[in-house]
Structure 1
Amino acid sequence: MHANALKVGCQTFTWEMLGLAWTGGPDDLLAAIAAGGYAGIEITDTMIGAYADDPDAFAAALAGHGLTLVSFACGAKSGYTLKEAIEADLDRVRRWIDFAGRFPGALVSMGSATVVSEGPREDKFAIAAEIYNRAGEIGRAAGVEVAVHPSSHHNTLLFDRPDYDRLFAMLDADLVGWVPDTGHILRGHPDILDTLATYRDRIRYLHLKDVDAEGRWAMLGEGVCPNAAVIELVAAAPRFNGWLVLEEESDTAASDPAAAVRRNRETMRGLGA
């Protein structure tokens, strides 16, 4: 894929991580992201606000800012690892798949399983795989692609390469895609490029963020992520849709999210996107 075909979106977690310090709403996010020079947005179930029950109004708001919905990201308190919560988790995912279906090309991104339930960690992989695969079936019926997004926070089920290998072996690669997140991968994988190359056929779009050598969040381009090599590899993946979604979690973003995402967009221009 030529660099000119790449599209750059922004993930709203940069604001969500502020917690109670963030008092704005989804319209404020759209305004800041559009002003930052982005073409698209990935919004979360936590940040969608009053638009959760009105996708048509959200579509109008996006159009007013010249933005495309790249993906709708959702999680679950169960961490997708609790057997007795499977049906409730899938009901919530079904809701967001229906929402995303209003937006042509939009995906639903399911956060990686975080081990919050009791019992052996190894037993949680099969529970998570069942939820992801069944969500993929729901998405296929609705014409919406579903993908897994990794995390390296807390006691995640997806941290190092053996975790990825184990879960991905249980997933239907046609039903369930992957949203690689460079920052989260770097915190648990010695060779990010090998992981990306191994599972390139699963990649749907890319989350770009950076970490320093100790795994602490850094502004894009100021850490150890080999951004140019990552983009080149991912852009050649057969099911990559062209979207690079920037997500910033550094201390710089915590002090001024809008300024941080503007700066990251300039960094991407320097990389030709």
Structure 2
Amino acid sequence: MTEQLPFRFGAEVYTWFMNNDGQTHKGRLGHMIEVIANAQFTGIQPIHFWMGDLSDPDRLEEKLKEQGIELAAIALALDWNGTEETEQETKEANQTISLLKRFPGAILCTVQKPSGRHDLTSRRRSLVNIVNNVSRRAMEKGVPCSFHPNSPHSSITRTEEDYQVILESLDHTATGWTPDVGHIINAGMDPLEKMKEYASMINHVHYKDWNGEPEFALMGEGKVDLLGITQWLKDRDYSGWIICEDEGEKALDDPDFVTLHDGHWIKEVLLPGLK
């Protein structure tokens, strides 16, 4: 899928998690790895608390090798609502960092679970401090990091002001930025322009499509200029992962189909359009 391209394509497991808050497909990471491989993706990004018995590095490595794909990243998704990490949050972060050490180059993708836009000034400051601390611990262990903003109305990393305050306050020696093109447009911003603004921070990318009805669409059926964004990444020789995290409505009923569709769409429609 990625011949003669500087970047590689992978898939996120959130496409399966959407159904019933993860309960429907809980414990099926092995199946997801198989589907993602069948879709001709070359990498996967699981969620740290949703890996089941494949949180064991030996089992995970064996399954990945069996299917011929890599661990691109793990999403460390936590509340981080205090002024500092809770004891449990520190434990989960350190466990995830330890797991990632087994897979050199795989990224710790930090994500805050949305929980309201109250006390924005202090909570954005606390989030930055926590993400910086987690990222520095990971960096000391040789694990690269990237921060992933999201766009629900209850997120404190949603608006243009949020992006400016948070991205510019992160420790750029410890963490990069994961632009999620669907979340950016969902919050009323232009994905490519925002990516150009903070281009030096990009070390991981998430793709999803969006149509505003009310939010996300099956890849290729929305309004995100995925071709233009991919061309820009190619032109600047971006060499990281592009992770497809399809949150279209069809994923609620058939995440396997959606993942296979996305792999086919990238190979047959997106890539042939590149110059």
Moved more, 87-96 or 170-179: 87-96
Q: How far 1:106 sits from its partner (Å)?
A: 0.2
Q: Distance in 2 between matches of 1:149 and 1:50?
A: 25
Aligned partners of 1:219 and 1:252 also within 8 Å: yes
Q: How far 1:15 sits from its partner (Å)?
A: 0.6
Counterpart of 1:159 in structure 2 is 158
Q: Which of the numbers 248, 251, 261 marks the counterpart of 1:250?
A: 248
What letter matches 2:15 in structure 1? T
Counterpart of 1:35 in structure 2 is 38
Q: How far 1:213 sits from its partner (Å)?
A: 3.8
Relative to 1, partners in 2 of residues 1:188 and 1:11: Cα closer, same or farther, differing over 3 Å? same
| SS of structure 1 residue aligned to 2:46 | strand
Q: How far 1:153 sits from its partner (Å)?
A: 2.2
Counterpart of 1:5 in structure 2 is 6
Counterpart mapping for 1:17-32 below 5 A: 17-19=18-20, 20-22=23-25, 24-32=27-35
Counterpart mapping for 1:1-273 below 5 A: 4-19=5-20, 20-22=23-25, 24-52=27-55, 54-76=56-78, 79-83=79-83, 85-112=85-112, 114-115=114-115, 120-236=119-235, 240-269=238-267, 270-272=269-271
What letter matches 2:134 in structure 1? A
Q: Deviations over 1:88-140 (max 9, x none)?
A: 423321210110110021001111352459x6122101110111111121111
| SS of structure 2 residue aligned to 1:72 | strand
- TM-score, with length taken from structure 2: 0.90
CA RMSD for the aligned pairs? 2.1
Q: Distance in 2 between matches of 1:126 and 1:12?
A: 29
Relative to 1, partners in 2 of residues 1:157 and 1:205: Cα closer, same or farther, differing over 3 Å? same
What letter matches 2:183 in structure 1? H
Identity over aligned residues, as a percent?
24
Q: Distance in 1 between matches of 2:254 and 2:263?
A: 15
Relative to 1, partners in 2 of residues 1:235 and 1:139: Cα closer, same or farther, differing over 3 Å? farther
Q: Deviations over 1:51-86 (max 9, x none)?
A: 22x21221111000101000011111xx22312544
Moved more, 186-195 or 40-49: 186-195
Aligned partners of 2:220 and 2:265 also within 8 Å: yes
What letter matches 1:272 in structure 2? L
Q: How far 1:205 sits from its partner (Å)?
A: 1.6
Q: How far 1:267 sits from its partner (Å)?
A: 1.3
Q: How far 1:222 sits from its partner (Å)?
A: 0.8
Deviation beyond 2 Å, 4+ runs, structure 1: 1-6, 19-24, 84-91, 112-117, 232-238
Q: How far 1:266 sits from its partner (Å)?
A: 1.4
Q: Deviations over 1:207-265 (max 9, x none)?
A: 10011044521011111100011112334557x43311111111111111111111111
Moved more, 128-137 or 106-115: 106-115
Q: Distance in 1 between matches of 2:157 and 2:4?
A: 30
| SS of structure 1 residue aligned to 2:188 | coil
Show structure 1 runs of 5+ residues with no match.
none
Q: Distance in 2 between matches of 1:244 and 1:215?
A: 24
Aligned partners of 1:36 and 1:258 also within 8 Å: no
What letter matches 1:190 in structure 2? M
Show structure 2 runs of 5+ residues with no match.
none
Aligned partners of 1:9 and 1:245 also within 8 Å: yes
| SS of structure 2 residue aligned to 1:185 | helix
- TM-score, with length taken from structure 1: 0.91
Aligned partners of 2:8 and 2:42 also within 8 Å: yes
What letter matches 2:17 in structure 1? E
Q: Distance in 2 between matches of 1:2 and 1:195?
A: 27
